[in-house]
């Protein structure tokens, strides 16, 4: 063979050995369009029943003022502070007497000194009970009231404890004349003592149902119980949130109440110390002829009609 052909053949073989033939590429699948992630599902709001609407309650603002208004506390502090400052002068004056004329039997001179303090809304704050009635839509009844009293949770009203303690320091007996029933005497005394009031004994509490032989009690009037204290004590001061805490009211009308107080107006701020109570009292039924048995709506209508607009 021609050496040149041999060389050409060798070169061709060499080139063929060094060249690799790549296998055909596998077909590339077209890219699938990107799928956006689904947004997280929003939580389903809980389905709750709407809160029942509270019926309008005439006592709402009164109770709220009693509990939240600083003005309420300031009025109580002012009354009790002034009464406390006048105690020493009252003790020193043997003719000083705070019993209404019809309640005084004989002369007060020579008798030991005492003060008469109402309990509810004068010494102890029962506004939590009123708040419960508002929230429940109920009205006062003897059972729920007694249950509240048995809790012994009523707090002292501003200035009341300081006044009672000052009286005790001066040798003045403190009597708690209350329209709480007599069978609430133990829990009431325990509540008073827990709140800081001086209570010299069980006889210091004169609740509704206390009997004074020879004295006829009319309804919840306190005249007989005042007479009972007045037989052995010279009453220096009376403190309460109702005019019935000072004098018996013969006719519980607006005119009758004013007539009962008229002879004693000069005693107010000296011997008699009235405190505000917008929550309840004999002033309320005076607006609807003292007829509690009528429906609540009828009583409210009468009170609206009693408003003065000019």
- The residue with tokens 């053949």 is 9
- Residues 196-208, mean pLDDT to the nearest whole number: 97
User: Across-strand partners of 268?
Assistant: 272
Check pLDDT > 60 for residue 50: no
pLDDT at residue number 178? 98
pLDDT at residue number 31? 44
For the chain, give the percent of residues with pLDDT over 70: 82
Spacing of C-alpha 140 from chain mean position: 14
Query: How would you class 167 by CB atoms within 10 Å of its CB: exposed for 0-12, middle for 13-18, buried for 19 or more?
Result: buried
DSSP state of 216: -
pLDDT at residue number 56? 82
Kindly indicate the confidence band of residue 123, based on its pLDDT and cuts at 50, 70 and 90.
very high
DSSP state of 220: T
- Per-residue pLDDT of 82-93, as tens digits, reads 999 999 999 999
Which residue, 294, 213, 290, 195, is CA-closest to 252?
A: 290
Task: Please tell me which residue, 229 or 18, carries the higher pLDDT value.
Answer: 229
For the chain, give the percent of residues with pLDDT over 90: 80
DSSP 3-state of 142? helix
Check pLDDT > 90 for residue 247: yes
Check pLDDT > 80 for residue 6: no
Phi, psi of 173 (to 5 degrees): -70, 140
pLDDT at residue number 147? 98
- Per-residue pLDDT of 16-46, as tens digits, reads 343 333 443 444 444 444 444 444 555 555 5
pLDDT at residue number 217? 85
CA distance 230 to 222: 12
**Are the C-beta atoms of residues 109 and 95 closer than 8 Å to each other?**
yes
Spacing of C-alpha 113 from chain mean position: 33
pLDDT at residue number 18? 36
- Per-residue pLDDT of 144-201, as tens digits, reads 999 999 999 999 999 999 999 999 999 999 999 999 999 999 999 999 999 999 999 9
The per-residue pLDDT of the chain, averaged, comes to 87
Residue-range domains of the chain with CATH: 60-280 (3.40.50.1000)
CA distance 248 to 244: 5
Check pLDDT > 60 for residue 266: yes
Kindly indicate the confidence band of residue 48, based on its pLDDT and cuts at 50, 70 and 90.
low
pLDDT at residue number 105? 92
Task: Please tell me which residue, 23 or 293, carries the higher pLDDT value.
Answer: 293
Strands (DSSP E) found in 69-220? 112-117, 124-125, 155-156, 173-181, 205-208
Q: Where are the alpha helices (DSSP H) in 19-126?
A: 60-68, 70-92
Check pLDDT > 50 for residue 3: no
- Residues 223-239, mean pLDDT to the nearest whole number: 97
User: Mean pLDDT lowest for which of 69-73, 104-108, 284-288?
Assistant: 104-108
Q: Which two tokens stand for residue 64?
A: 């709220």
């Amino acid at each position: 063979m021609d050496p040149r052909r041999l060389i050409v053949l060798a070169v061709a073989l060499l080139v063929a050995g060094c060249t690799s033939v790549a296998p055909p590429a596998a077909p590339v699948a077209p890219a699938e369009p990107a799928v956006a992630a689904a947004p997280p599902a929003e939580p389903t709001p809980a389905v709750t029943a709407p809160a029942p609407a509270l019926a309008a309650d005439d006592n709402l603002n009164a109770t709220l003022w009693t509990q939240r208004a600083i003005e309420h506390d300031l009025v109580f502090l002012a009354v009790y502070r002034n009464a406390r400052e006048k105690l020493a002068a009252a003790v020193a004056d043997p003719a000083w007497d705070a019993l209404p004329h019809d309640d005084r039997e004989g002369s007060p001179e020579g008798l030991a000194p005492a003060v008469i303090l109402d309990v509810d809304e004068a010494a102890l704050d029962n506004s939590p009970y009123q708040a419960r009635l508002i929230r429940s839509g109920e009205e006062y009844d003897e059972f729920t009231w007694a249950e509240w009293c048995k809790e012994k949770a009523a707090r002292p009203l501003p200035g009341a404890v300081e006044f009672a303690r000052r009286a005790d320091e001066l040798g003045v007996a403190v009597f708690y004349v209350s329209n709480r029933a007599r069978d609430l005497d133990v829990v009431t005394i325990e509540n008073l003592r827990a709140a800081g009031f001086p209570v010299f004994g069980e006889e210091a509490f004169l609740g509704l149902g206390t009997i004074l032989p020879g004295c006829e009690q009319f309804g919840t009037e306190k005249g007989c119980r005042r007479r009972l204290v007045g037989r052995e004590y010279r009453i220096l001061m009376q403190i309460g949130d109702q005019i019935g805490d000072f004098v018996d009211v013969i006719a519980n009308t607006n005119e009758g109440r004013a007539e009962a107080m008229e002879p004693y107006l000069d005693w107010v701020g000296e011997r008699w110390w009235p405190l505000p109570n917008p929550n309840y009292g004999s002033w309320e039924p005076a607006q609807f002829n003292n007829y509690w048995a009528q429906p609540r709506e009828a009583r409210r209508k009468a009170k609206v009609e009693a408003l003065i607009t000019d």
